[in-house]
Structure 1
Amino acid sequence: MADDRNDEIRPSRVVDESADTPESADAHGISMPEICREVGDEAEFVHPADMADHLENLSLEKQVCALRHMTTEDAAEALAELDGNVAVDVLENLDADVAAQIIAEMAPDDAADVLDELDEEHRDVLLEKLTKEDSEELRNLLNFDPDSAAGAMNTELILLEKALTVDEAIAHIRREMEDDKESPYYGYVVDEKDVLVGVLSLRDLMLARPGTIVGDAAAGQSVISVTYDTDKREVASLLSHYNFLAMPVVDYEGHIMGVVTYDDIMDIMHEEASADMLGMVGADPEESVDTPWTESVRKRLPWLMVNLFNSALSASVVYMFEGTIAQMAVLAVLMPMVANQAGNTGQQALAVMIRQLATDRFDQKKAWMAVLREGKIGIVTGLFMAVTAFLGAWWFTGNHLVGAVMGGALLCDMILGAVAGGSIPLIFRAVGRDPAQASSIFLTTITDGAGFFIFLGLATLFIF
């Protein structure tokens, strides 16, 4: 999760490699200064994200060397912006002391995300090299489910005691920012037990009358927060719904634990969208171009086997009507059009439903009403396409019965595809599975098998 330092955007710097740097070697036994000379001229980058993009195009050895020769602060910012797999590879190949210094400089939520991907032994080595306070904070974050609000929260937040005046609160915020904390969106008003009692924006504080007590300024608020075990997708939905820049995270007694910021939510939504896209076709949600190819093979093969079995079912339907096809070969030309059109209709419904499930709280009644809506769309679009197919098949074959069979089969299969596309994600969710996981594979099986059966069945019934 990227650390938003929009008040402090400045060029990243790489330390002069001609300086006296120990001639150490990395895990691959390559002289680091020599590699750094191969990296090229490190131009000044406007933002750490630009540096991260540059690093991701380099070899692992050059990435390691570049981070070693940056200032610790720049290295921490760049590492936070790197793709997760790349960041892990770099940390595993950095000297443990250097890696620990970079981790200590990162925002706690970013550091916890990277450490969570490391193997436990390596993670413990790095944590032991941190200060006791930093180590305990990161260990606490690592104990939370990474898919929960606590797993996404940043513990660097600014608390305002309710007895402070607004002038004292502003002075307190300035002192806190001197410690290079993440730029605050809000000040969180707490009582003497750190129970969250109010939230004040920086604008509220700046416009309040001098001498106003922050507890009074926050009085009467209905504070919106989430508990630490709330699913991060739910947090994203709430943040989007209320148009907040940050969402406070509390325990069941109301004690504030941290805050999930808008930039973190953007990352979460991006990850979820990518996971849904990959899951729909049976690819692993965590897979990327940096995933080892052998691991990708292991993850994809099971779903490819499922798809092969489903395709065999569709083929068996065609085999059932071998005699019908033999009598009129043009049916073999037309039947893939029925399945393809229905599959496209189903994919549209599937995409809409998965997007809705990913971005909105969807109660059961509303969900099944959405399926009914997709059915209505399937009927109307199916009727239009059926008439078009009827005229086209009649003109192509010169046989109005073939046109009628084509139109009727297309209408039935498109309605089925729309309903199936809307229903499959809900069924997956009901049985506790990811709604996007391989939905496309099962949808294709339904539309192909049913399309072939309906088309060839109607042809057998009405033409022969």
Structure 2
Amino acid sequence: MSVKEEMHIKGDELIDGLTAAELEAQHPADAAETIEGLDMSDQVKFVKQLPIKDAAESIAEMESNDQIALIQNLNRGLAARIVNQMSPDDATDLLEGLDEVLRQALLQRVPAEERAELKTLLTFGPDTAGGVMNTEVVILDQDLHVDEAITKLRQEVEDKEIPYYAYLTDAKDRLVGVVSLRELLLAKRGVRLKDLVKTQNLISVGYNIDKEEVAHHIAKYNLLALPVVDFGNRLLGVVTVDDVIDIIHEEASEDMQTMVGAGADETTDSPVIFSVKKRIPWLIINVANSAIAAYVVHLFDDTIAAMAILAALMHIVSNQAGNTGQQALAVMIRQLAMEKFDRKKAWFAVFREIKIGLINSGLISMLVLLAIIAFTGDFKLAACMGIALVIDMLVGALAGSSIPLILKEIGRDPAQASSIFLTTITDAIGFWSFLGLAGILLL
């Protein structure tokens, strides 16, 4: 019996060895894995057995494509109730992935107040602070006393997702300060909230700031949540640390995929045609780039014909340079992803990679030189190999570290197909330097 057959749901029978009560007691992330492991018909049955709140929390933990597929297969009444029970940021992410007809149908079934909030969130770009923020925050008037604030906090905190902080506003709803729950509990009786933040260096971001920049702010200042404001400094919501973890994971995955020309938003569940459309342009570009390297080799047909061993050795040069470049490329892309772009510091990092490439190329070329002398006794061939390795590995270090910066300077994703461009450069220069030196020194 297959795993899916063992997990098949029939009425109120056990699901994957769990009772209905045990299923409800599962952490939403574990429940999400259980749901994703089922056939679609069983996913629907499974969700129908869960309380709406548990279903909403579990579906929020699922992969985006799986979420969308499941919501599309639920009846609209149930789907709308689930969306309504989700935190606003999770509900917005889900709605953004649905087609316009289904999105509007679900919104019409959501209560008016929540519907207005979700529609507002949908107006923000998905890659901005506004697009990832949560609006379930504790807002307190700055003129309240500490005791009054704690009383209000107790009344409101149950409806808030993550009450790490309380946000203080003035009469015009402008953000004037942030106090942690610890500060509220330790403050003396009778103290006004505004007195707690008199010397505070308030940190916030505009709603249109890129979500990567938001992640950098939270990491830099060690915050659990970061307030998001409009141009009038009015509080719109907060981005929490759990959102930042998702952002970092998503950006790292996108960088890894775009480096080799795959779609940034592509997954193993993406439709085949979708993936083909994303990849084929870069594969065509790669063919053109490979033709450049092939043409370089063609220029030295006579040299290769005279010494067949060159055909076997020339790939060692390009492979070593390619690996050197990939190392520099990975370090540079990680640096750009982790820190705010600093042009001076970034280009200093290029010179650092060149130094590393010089040392590594010297050591590797010496090792290869000695190996060729030991096996062939040909000092000139060994010299050609050694010099070509130094040249191409230096080029690889330079190209690997500078390609992401060049892409950044022209406003493109630093990781976008950078591996393809790097391979073209190291192959062409490697073949040209090795075969050119061989033509000069050996023939």
TM-score, length-normalised on structure 2?
A: 0.95
Within 5 A, what are the aligned runs for 1:306-385?
Answer: 306-385=285-364
* Counterparts of 2:52 and 2:291, CA distance in 1: 57
* Counterparts of 1:49 and 1:67, CA distance in 2: 14
Structure 1 residue 298, shift from structure 2 partner? 2.2
Contact kept in structure 1, 2:138 and 2:157, CA below 8 Å: no
Contact kept in structure 2, 1:35 and 1:62, CA below 8 Å: no
Aligned: 1:86 with 2:66: yes
Structure 1 residue 39, shift from structure 2 partner? 5.2
Within 5 A, what are the aligned runs for 1:69-148?
Answer: 69-148=49-128
Aligned: 1:162 with 2:142: yes
Aligned counterpart, 1:234: 213
After TM superposition, the structure 1 stretch with the greater mean CA deviation from structure 2, 104-113 or 34-43, is 34-43
* Counterparts of 1:452 and 1:64, CA distance in 2: 58
* Counterparts of 1:235 and 1:253, CA distance in 2: 19
Structure 1 residue 329, shift from structure 2 partner? 1.0
Structure 1 residue 396, shift from structure 2 partner? 2.1
Deviations 1:149-183 (A, max 9, x none): 0001000000111111111111111111233x212
Paired residue secondary structure (2:144): coil
Q: Percent identity?
A: 51
Q: How many residues align?
A: 432
* Counterparts of 1:60 and 1:156, CA distance in 2: 32
Contact kept in structure 2, 1:342 and 1:414, CA below 8 Å: yes
Contact kept in structure 2, 1:394 and 1:401, CA below 8 Å: no
Paired residue secondary structure (2:135): coil
Aligned: 1:455 with 2:425: no
Aligned counterpart, 1:17: none
Structure 1 residue 84, shift from structure 2 partner? 0.4
Any gaps of 5 or more consecutive residues in structure 2?
Answer: 1-7
Q: Provide the aligned C-alpha RMSD in A.
A: 1.5
Structure 1 residue 42, shift from structure 2 partner? 3.8
- Counterpart residue type for residue 34 of structure 2: H
* Counterparts of 1:298 and 1:380, CA distance in 2: 42
Rate the CA distance shift 1:402–1:157 in 2: closer, same or farther, 3 A.
same
* Counterparts of 2:224 and 2:147, CA distance in 1: 23
* Counterparts of 1:358 and 1:73, CA distance in 2: 35
* Counterparts of 2:12 and 2:338, CA distance in 1: 44
Deviations 1:175-216 (A, max 9, x none): 11233x212111111111111111111111111111211111
* Counterparts of 1:85 and 1:267, CA distance in 2: 15
Paired residue secondary structure (2:134): coil
Any gaps of 5 or more consecutive residues in structure 1?
Answer: 1-31
* Counterparts of 1:124 and 1:287, CA distance in 2: 26
TM-score, length-normalised on structure 1?
A: 0.91
- Counterpart residue type for residue 299 of structure 2: M
Deviations 1:62-103 (A, max 9, x none): 112211221000000001100001000111111000000000
Rate the CA distance shift 1:170–1:67 in 2: closer, same or farther, 3 A.
same
* Counterparts of 2:156 and 2:391, CA distance in 1: 65
Structure 1 residue 37, shift from structure 2 partner? 5.6
- Counterpart residue type for residue 379 of structure 2: H
Contact kept in structure 2, 1:162 and 1:213, CA below 8 Å: yes
Aligned: 1:270 with 2:249: yes
* Counterparts of 1:333 and 1:314, CA distance in 2: 16
* Counterparts of 1:289 and 1:151, CA distance in 2: 25
Paired residue secondary structure (2:151): helix
- Counterpart residue type for residue 129 of structure 2: A
Rate the CA distance shift 1:36–1:56 in 2: closer, same or farther, 3 A.
farther
Moved over 2 A (4+): 32-46
* Counterparts of 2:198 and 2:410, CA distance in 1: 44
Contact kept in structure 1, 2:9 and 2:42, CA below 8 Å: no
Contact kept in structure 2, 1:188 and 1:199, CA below 8 Å: yes
